[in-house]
């Protein structure tokens, strides 16, 4: 997992992800305030899920990971905690692959947690189990863009 401010995203150009398209989409959202739905950017190779929700408690959260896509989760507004651990050794509780590319896991302890605020992003690889959307200081509304970046095979 990589966590940083979006203004630093060019520092990760060596990761061979479509940074320019992501930055363009964020700028477009900032101009028009996009509705919550899926937006195709490079077809199935890169798409964005615009989401608005109220943060939930740690107990309400679910561990998840993805096999086909990396996530770049960018916070447009609000603050949340994201918990992180490795997928290795976790027990799958729900398998929604390949149709939805999401695995859910039984509750476990976390190895790290990070507070994501407006303008920050987390890049999550396929071995990064994460529990997003959790309460930071108080329950609040968050708007996020989750960029789904297809992994190269």
pLDDT of residue 68: 96
pLDDT tens, residue by residue, 4-25: 999 999 999 999 899 999 999 9
Cβ–Cβ under 8 Å, residues 135 and 92? no
What percentage of the chain carries pLDDT values higher than 70? Answer: 99
The pLDDT score that the predictor gives to residue 153 is 56
pLDDT at 73: 98
Residue 58 — φ and ψ, nearest 5°? -55, -40
| Global pTM value | 0.95
* pLDDT > 90 fraction of the chain, expressed in percent and rounded: 97
Give yes or no for a cis peptide into 98 (omega within 30° of 0): yes
Write down all domains in the chain, each with its CATH number in brackets: 2-150 (2.60.120.370)
């Amino acid at each position: 997992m990589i966590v940083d401010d979006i203004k630093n995203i060019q520092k990760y150009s060596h990761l061979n992800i479509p940074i320019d398209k992501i930055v363009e989409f964020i700028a477009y959202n900032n101009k028009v305030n996009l509705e919550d739905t899926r937006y195709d950017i490079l077809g199935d190779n890169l798409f964005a899920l615009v989401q608005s929700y109220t943060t939930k408690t740690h107990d309400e959260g679910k561990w998840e990971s993805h096999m086909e896509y990396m996530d770049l989760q960018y916070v447009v507004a609000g603050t949340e905690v994201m918990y992180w651990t490795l997928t290795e050794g976790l027990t799958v509780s729900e398998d929604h692959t390949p149709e939805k590319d999401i695995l859910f896991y039984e509750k476990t302890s976390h190895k790290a947690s990070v507070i994501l605020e407006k303008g920050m992003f987390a890049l999550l690889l396929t071995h990064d189990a994460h529990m997003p959307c959790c309460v930071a200081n108080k329950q609040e509304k968050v708007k996020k863009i989750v960029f789904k970046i297809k992994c190269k095979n």
